[in-house]
Amino acid sequence: MTVKLGQIVPSTGRLVVNNGSYFLSMPSPIGFRILHNTLVRIPDNTIWGYIGYELSALPAVDQFLQDLSKISQEQSLVKGYYGYFNIPDNGIMEFGAQAATDRPILPIVRRFQANEKDLENLIATYRDKYGKDIYIHLRNTNGKEY
């Protein structure tokens, strides 16, 4: 694989695609820097994201997580960089600047194979009831945002 910046800055490397990740090997990139050589794939049927919340809304966050667990299952992810987030050695999902907020956030990763309308209705119920006290940001494996 060759990456070209304009017409004069080529860098040659290799992109390896497998079931669990993408790996870019580019020994001497010219004109750019590779921050993460490996991008881990988010498993199929996964919903992931976070809840930002006001401290006063913590009981509602707990209830949301209980309700979510009724329509989804636990999902563990392997250590690595996933693009939108990172799973470090401690296994706790970390978000970058896209989750920058002055509120506490609680990461969510779940296996979801139920009716999508059930998830949409659950999220809508909490958004309607708690307004700006809870910010629910979830995506699925295909990139759909809820």
Can you give the residue ranges of every domain in the chain? 2-40, 46-77+91-140
In three-state secondary structure terms, 15 is strand
Give the pTM: 0.83
Structure confidence at residue 26 (pLDDT): 82
pLDDT beyond 70 at 4: no
Structure confidence at residue 28 (pLDDT): 78
Q: What's the first-to-final CA gap in the chain, in angstroms?
A: 36
79 burial via Cβ count (<10 Å: 0-12, 13-18, 19+): exposed
Structure confidence at residue 52 (pLDDT): 94
Structure confidence at residue 77 (pLDDT): 96
Structure tokens at 135: 């910010």
Structure confidence at residue 5 (pLDDT): 61
102 or 143: whose pLDDT is higher?
A: 143
Question: Thinking of the domain 46-77+91-140, which architecture would CATH place it in?
Answer: 2-Layer Sandwich (3.30)
Give backbone dihedrals phi and psi of 103, rounded to 5 degrees, phi first.
Answer: -95, 155
pLDDT tens digits, 21-62: 999 888 877 777 788 899 999 999 999 999 999 999 999 999
pLDDT tens digits, 67-110: 999 999 999 999 999 999 999 999 999 987 666 678 899 999 99
pLDDT beyond 80 at 115: yes
In three-state secondary structure terms, 46 is strand
**CA 77 to CA 91: how far, in whole Å?**
8
pLDDT, average across residues 109-126? 97
